[in-house]
Amino acid sequence: MTKNEIKSLHEQYLNKLRKEKRIVRFVQMLIFILFFGLWELASQQRWMDPLIFSSPTKIWELFIQKSVDGSLAANIGITVTETILGFLAGTILGTLLAALLWWSPILSKILDPFLVILNAMPKVALGPILIVAIGANMTSIVAMGTLVSVIITTIVVFTSFKEVDPNYTKVLQIFGATRTQSFKEAILPASFPTIISTLKVNVGLSWVGVIVGEFLTSSRGLGYMIIYGFQVFDFTLVFLSLLVIAVFATIMYQLVDLLEKKLIQD
């Protein structure tokens, strides 16, 4: 086969890839447009109750109105801050707890059944107790965002600590390394990919915790907008909040994904 023939075959292959990508993008756009188009149409033609299901144009108008008066940005700011704090606290606390369990095998044996119970328990059910204990403020919402992610982080990261090839620690022990040194030089860096991937799960979990927390207590934030819209039967407000949450949760997830690719490229 000549060079030119190979080149043209390669060209064909690339064309096939491009074509496939175009089809995927086209269908994705189609689904997006159909979804909002049908929604709008169904609402205007009264196929479904516009009072309950609102419509994209009404949501858009409300979006413009709330953007102009600045209240949307303020609410987004609060919820996103709470989520980031909850997610960072959950990840860091979970990793520290995992380090403690690794440090003391006897402690990990003692705590094992309690971790299982705490993990199985629906953490949002603790909401009312948190509010009574900490107070109806931002701290208890952040605590909620932390609580939903901390136990699962502990369990996942601890498992990855235990699964690090013992020969790495053996190499260090022969050099006379202390347990702290073994942790710092082998256990933690070897588990880094697992820790980063728990970040991705924790982003989602923290959103759950924070929104439920706002349902229960807050007078600000996106979760509050949902519950307020529900109470005054303004479902345009509910849908606006839902769409904004979808957008910001996706952005956060993508950022963590980007971070993961950056940190684990080698």
Partner 1 sequence: MDFLTIKNLHHTYFTKTSATTALSDITLDVKEGEFISFLGPSGCGKTTLLSIIAGLINPTGGSVLLENQPIKTSQNDIGYMLQQDYLFPWKTIEQNILLGLKINGTLTPEKKENTSYLLKQMGLEHVRSSYPKQLSGGMRQRVALVRTLATEPKLLMLDEPFSALDFQTKLKLEDLVSNTLKNFNKTAILVTHDIGEAIAMSDRIILFSPSPGKVHKTFLVPDELKNLPPFKARNHSVYTELFQTIWKELESLDEK
Residue ranges in contact with partner 1 by CB under 8 A: 165, 167-168, 170-177, 181, 185-186, 189-190, 192, 266
Phi, psi of 68 (to 5 degrees): -65, -45
CA 140/CA 150 separation, integer angstroms: 15
> For residues 11 and 112, which CB has a smaller minimum distance to partner 1 in the complex?
112
User: How far, CA to CA in Å, does 27 sit from each of 31, 32, 45, 243?
Assistant: 6, 9, 26, 21
> For residues 1 and 174, which CB has a smaller minimum distance to partner 1 in the complex?
174
Q: How far is the CB of 97 from partner 1 (least distance, A)?
A: 23
> For residues 175 and 231, which CB has a smaller minimum distance to partner 1 in the complex?
175
Structure tokens at 27: 């269908």
CA 12/CA 54 separation, integer angstroms: 48
Contact of 124 with 208, CB cutoff 8 Å: yes
Non-local CB neighbours of 123 within 8 Å, separated by 6+ positions: 144, 147, 148, 151, 209
| Residue carrying the six token digits 């490229």 | 265
Q: How far is the CB of 29 from partner 1 (least distance, A)?
A: 41
> For residues 8 and 178, which CB has a smaller minimum distance to partner 1 in the complex?
178
Q: How far is the CB of 40 from partner 1 (least distance, A)?
A: 53
Phi, psi of 46 (to 5 degrees): 60, 30
CA 266/CA 262 separation, integer angstroms: 9
Q: How far is the CB of 191 from partner 1 (least distance, A)?
A: 11
> For residues 96 and 171, which CB has a smaller minimum distance to partner 1 in the complex?
171
Q: How far is the CB of 91 from partner 1 (least distance, A)?
A: 20
Q: How far is the CB of 112 from partner 1 (least distance, A)?
A: 18
- Cα dihedral across residues 231, 233, 237, 239: positive or negative: positive
> For residues 62 and 186, which CB has a smaller minimum distance to partner 1 in the complex?
186
